[in-house]
């Protein structure tokens, strides 16, 4: 139970409304980075705040005062992406599930972090929250070794691109400890599990066999 005066907010960027609709669970505010899956083509920077409560008026007032708003062209590109969100998200998720299962059996992978896997500690929660039995398009995994092996992997992939984003048509491999989490204190990174063996893969829309082949070849080189 939330204490009095608390406002529940959910960042729904990674799963999108295709998998989960937080407002149905009485969440007050939902936020999305539309840069990611909603626009879906790695060509927009934007975000949205969604609420079905009176606080949206306050948020709108702050938007007017601060002046942050999408350009008309960025808004057009985002709406274009929304038209294909459902079919894209299903393909992202199906590809990610196949890759998670592949990596889980690979001898150079210590652990795969993906809620679609039955042995994930979040599998039951994901089944309860997510519709369609789809589990998202991002797979994290730990490789045997550390920083040296991580860099070898990033240098070896060819189809998969090395870049710190997610949700576009291309598969993107990220090394969190030197990207989004670079400025976190080491003890905080350790506490949340961002270690030197952790990789994050935003699974794209390429043929899944091609993605797996690329990962397989790259893993052989570490």
Of 54, 83, 112, the last residue of a domain is: 83
Q: Tell which residue, 160, 210, 202, has the closest CA to residue 37.
A: 202
Q: Tell which residue, 102, 174, 88, has the closest CA to residue 137.
A: 88
Same domain membership, residue 112 and residue 198: yes
- Residue 4 domain flag: no
- Residue 118 domain flag: yes
Q: Which domain holds residue 17?
A: 9-83
- 182: its two tokens: 């670079």
Q: Are 206 and 171 in contact (CB under 8 A)?
A: yes
- Domain of 197, CATH number, reads 3.90.1150.10
- Domain of 67, CATH number, reads 3.40.640.10
- 54: its two tokens: 């009176």
**Predicted pLDDT at 169:** 97
- Residue 71 domain flag: yes
User: What pLDDT digit, counting tens, does each position of 82-110 carry?
Assistant: 999 999 999 999 999 999 999 999 999 99
Same domain membership, residue 153 and residue 101: yes
Q: What is the pTM of this model?
A: 0.91
Same domain membership, residue 159 and residue 208: yes
Same domain membership, residue 150 and residue 108: yes
Residue indicated by tokens 């789809």: 134
Helix/strand/coil for 48: strand
Is the model's pLDDT at 1 over the cut of 80?
A: no
Same domain membership, residue 213 and residue 136: yes
Same domain membership, residue 170 and residue 125: yes
**Predicted pLDDT at 53:** 74
CA distance 64 to 185: 35
Same domain membership, residue 37 and residue 105: no
Is the model's pLDDT at 144 over the cut of 50?
A: yes
- Residue 184 domain flag: yes
Q: Are 99 and 201 in contact (CB under 8 A)?
A: yes
Same domain membership, residue 120 and residue 56: no
Query: Domain count of the chain?
Result: 2
């Amino acid at each position: 139970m939330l204490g009095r005066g608390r406002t529940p907010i959910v960042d729904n960027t990674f799963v999108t409304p295709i998998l989960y609709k937080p407002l149905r669970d009485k969440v007050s505010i939902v936020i999305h980075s539309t840069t990611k899956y909603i626009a879906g083509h790695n060509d927009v920077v934007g975000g949205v705040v969604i609420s079905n409560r009176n606080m949206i008026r306050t948020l709108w007032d702050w938007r007017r005062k601060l002046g942050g708003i999408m350009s008309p062209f960025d808004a057009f590109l985002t709406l274009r992406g929304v038209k294909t969100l459902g079919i894209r998200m299903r393909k992202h998720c199906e590809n990610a599930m196949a890759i998670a299962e592949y990596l889980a059996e690979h001898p150079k992978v210590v652990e795969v972090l993906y809620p679609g896997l039955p042995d994930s500690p979040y599998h039951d929660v994901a089944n309860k929250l997510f519709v369609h039995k789809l589990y998202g398009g991002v797979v994290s995994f730990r490789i045997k070794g550390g920083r040296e092996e991580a860099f070898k992997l990033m240098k070896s992939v060819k189809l998969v691109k090395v870049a710190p984003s997610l949700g576009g048509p291309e598969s993107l491999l990220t090394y969190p400890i030197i990207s989004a989490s670079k400025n976190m204190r080491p003890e905080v990174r350790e506490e949340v599990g961002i270690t030197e063996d952790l990789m994050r893969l935003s699974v794209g829309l390429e043929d899944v066999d091609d993605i797996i082949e690329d990962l397989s070849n790259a893993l052989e080189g570490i």
